[in-house]
Amino acid sequence: MSEKNEFKWGMVVDTDRCTGCQACVIACQAENNVSLNTEDRFHQRRAIEWIRIERYWEGEYPNVKAKFLPVLCQHCENAPCEPVCPVFATYHNNEGLNVQVYNRCVGTRYCANNDPYQVRFFNFWEPQWPKTLENQLNPDVTVRTRGIMEKCTFCVQRISRKQRELKNEGRDLVDGELKPACVQTCPTDALVFGNLKDPKSKVAKMAKGSRHYRLLESLGTEPNVIYLKKVEENV
């Protein structure tokens, strides 16, 4: 299955459907053992949110509109964060994922500087949870120590588990059966995940739609996350 490499993971974010509820942020936090973002971590601007909802206000009062933009690691095909790492702690795998190897990371934070989307996070402090929450840590995901970078992995633990399953059962991936935590949680289906190499998959079809664009496309990073423009009804 993986020898032929028929996967190129991608995501479609329909900004028209996003209500800004932040359920994806919480789901990601729980799935990926992201340490708790307490109030003072926000004040220090060191909160770790692998996916965040950027909120922009438009218009003058009383005609104010909030626009939401979920931003996560774009898993760029031509990722600027990769060549600057001196120790190959971040590299591109053959399924289109931008992978972070925690054990190699020395924490130069160069990747964070060269990341135009600001979706790479540095562990300034040792991650901490209240005693009661320690038992709910996901055993499939490493707890990152302080001094290293971390970022969205497209829930690589779910991807590899699914791939093992498919190999054992000897079948192909059914579109929609593999979902990262954020996609699984999104109540409005604003986030869609799938295999961009499969032309029949939902992501591949949506990515070709007339509303599609990619963040900071002019930089030439070729992200694997495709955004769909907001449909303006009451302009």
Partner 1 sequence: MQERVHLTDKQINDDLLIGVETHPRWWFIAVGFLAIMVATAGGAFGYMINQGLGVTGLNRPVMWGFFITNFVFWVGISHAGVMISSILRLSQAEWRRPVTRAAEVLTIVALMTAMLFPLMHTGRPWRIMYWVFPYDFARGIWPNIRSPLVWDPSAIFTYLISASLFVFVALIPDLAVLRDRSTGPRKQIYGVLSLGWRGTPRQWRLQAIAGILLSALILPVFVSVHSIVSWDFGMTMAVSSWHSTIMAPYFVIGAVHSGVSAVVTVMILLRWAFKWEKYIRPEHLDGLGKLLVVVGTTWFYFFILEFLFGLYSQEAAEVSLRNLLIYQWPWNFMFFIFLATAFFIPIPMWLFRGVRRSVILMLLTSILVNIGMWLERFLIIVPGLTRKADFTFVWGTYRPSIIEIILVAASFAFVTLMILLFSKVFPLIPLFDQKEGKVLEATTRIGRRDVPSIVREE
| Angstrom distance (rounded) from CA 180 to CA 135 | 21
Residue carrying structure tokens 């973002």: 37
**Edge-to-edge strand ranges of the sheet holding 225-228:** 191-195, 9-14, 225-228, 212-213
Q: How far is the CB of 47 from partner 1 (least distance, A)?
A: 8
Q: How far is the CB of 154 from partner 1 (least distance, A)?
A: 21
Using CB under 8 A, which residues numbered 167 to 196 contact partner 1?
none
| Angstrom distance (rounded) from CA 82 to CA 85 | 6
Q: What is the largest CA-CA distance in the chain?
A: 58
> Using the rule CB under 8 A, which residue among 17, 23, 147, 230 binds partner 1?
147
Window contacting partner 1 (CB under 8 A); options: 22-30, 111-119, 188-196, 200-208: 111-119
> Using the rule CB under 8 A, which residue among 80, 137, 162, 197 binds partner 1?
80
* CB contact at 8 A, 50 and 34: yes
Size of the site for partner 1 (CB under 8 A): 42
Nearest one of 99, 108, 51, 107 to 79, comparing CA atoms: 99
Window contacting partner 1 (CB under 8 A); options: 10-18, 21-29, 114-122, 202-210: 114-122
> Using the rule CB under 8 A, which residue among 108, 138, 163, 184 binds partner 1?
108
* CB contact at 8 A, 27 and 152: no
Query: Is 45 one of the binding residues for partner 1 (CB under 8 A)?
Result: yes
Q: Half-sphere exposure of residue 193, counting CA atoms within 13 Å on the CB side?
A: 22
| Residues 212-227 as b or e (16 or more Cβ within 10 Å = b) | eebbeeeeebebbbbb
8 or 151: CB nearest partner 1: 151
> Using the rule CB under 8 A, which residue among 109, 179, 205, 214 binds partner 1?
109
> Using the rule CB under 8 A, which residue among 66, 106, 133, 231 binds partner 1?
106
Q: How far is the CB of 75 from partner 1 (least distance, A)?
A: 16
Query: Which residues in this chain contact partner 1 in the complex, by CB under 8 A?
Result: 44-47, 54-56, 69, 71, 80, 83-88, 104-110, 112-118, 121-126, 146-149, 216, 219
